[in-house]
Amino acid sequence: MTGHSDNSNAFLLADGSEELSPTVMWTPPDAIHYVSATPVLTSSRYKLGELICYGGMGVVYAARDLHLDRDVAVKVLRLQPDRHPDAVRLYTREAKIISRLSHPGIVPIYDFGLCTDGRPYHVMKLVQGGTLSELISSADGNVSHLLTVFADVCQTMAFVHTQGIIHMDLKPSNVMVGAFGEVYVMDWGLARFQKSVGQDRPGLTIRLSSDLADFIPDDGYASHVGVCGTPGYMSPEQARGDAVDARADVFGLGAILCEILVGHAPYVGHDARQVYLNARRGSIDATMLGLEECDSDRALVRLARRCLTTDRNDRPASAVEVSAAVSTYQETALQRVESDMNRFFELSLDLFC
């Protein structure tokens, strides 16, 4: 988990009109009840070490499993459980969902328990590495390795979608790349089974899933639809609080590919509210133009544009289809390289014979 910024349980504002109403405003800091003390686990099995990272709701520590003599990561809820019962519910749901997803691209959970103050924690594999976001920032235009990582993300999400689960917060910072090239899709705090967003329990406090964010009050619209996600990467239907399915994650995959190809998320704006409004309206024309004008392979550009289509009926049905398209691209690219190499050797032989 080293190098990963924990944004797992990050919720977003919503409003019923095309412009944000005056009732949507930032919540004062004292409305959020954090626990600053180092957690004390009820189990003596794990010895906590250094703090690795923290986000809006979770904090991650390196730890030692004294029974099996191995390094692990322990993720603990940051919020006071009695003041934030919905956070406890989401945190517990995240652990349950991850425990059901046995796949090389998903960090396994080893254990679950409570701290002495009632905060839940779960124990998982310790991953040494960085995020895809960091790799994109340092890639200097070389997308070959980034596409390999993206292909692994697509394969992981293809498996997840076959299990009837959607992630709801796909973005480069939620992809970890280990020291030996292993790729993990992280932060399942918003994940859910494929069903209408509005069927979730109403009344959730909503938080922005990025460093743009502060907590804001829940308004009537948000309490009914439970809008959640990261504004810059959300599908329009997710931003509006409509029913979502695997195609919302397909948009997220397209958003990751977009950032690989052009260096930024699909939606941009001068502040978090503007980014959210752009997401809700599906204002993506500038990004589509940027994709069309970039120097990347046309097949990748077409795939990114198709995934980012504002009408979800025009997107691939699930990550299974996206993964297949990426695999086909990689195979075709490899065949081109092999063909070019063969021609090079043939020309070389002609020159020396």
* 169 part of the active site: yes
Between CA 308 and CA 253 the distance in angstroms is 9
Task: State the Cα–Cα distance between residues 204 and 221, nearest whole angstrom.
Answer: 11
Phi and psi at residue 108, to the nearest 5°: -75, 150
Q: How far, in Å, CA of 319 to CA of 253, rounded? A: 8
Nearest to 9 by CA among 70, 123, 98: 98
| Residue in the structure block whose two tokens are 């009695």 | 82
End-to-end CA distance of the chain: 57
Q: Is 113 helix (H, G, I), strand (E, B) or coil?
A: strand
SS3 23: coil
- The rounded distance, in Å, linking the Cα atoms of 32 and 272 is 19
Question: Looking at this protein, which amino acid is placed at residue 302?
Answer: R
Q: How are beta strands 129-131 and 175-178 bridged, if at all? A: antiparallel
Residue 282, classed as helix, strand or coil, is coil
- List 15, 152, 169, 218, catalytic entry: 169
Give yes or no for a contact between 20 and 277, defined as CB atoms under 8 angstroms apart: yes
In what side-by-side order are the strands of the sheet with 46-54? 46-54, 58-65, 70-77, 120-125, 109-114
Distance of alpha carbon 41 from alpha carbon 29, whole angstroms: 27
**36 neighbors 21 (Cβ within 8 angstroms):** no
Say if CB 20 and CB 283 are below 8 A apart: no
Residues tagged active-site: 169
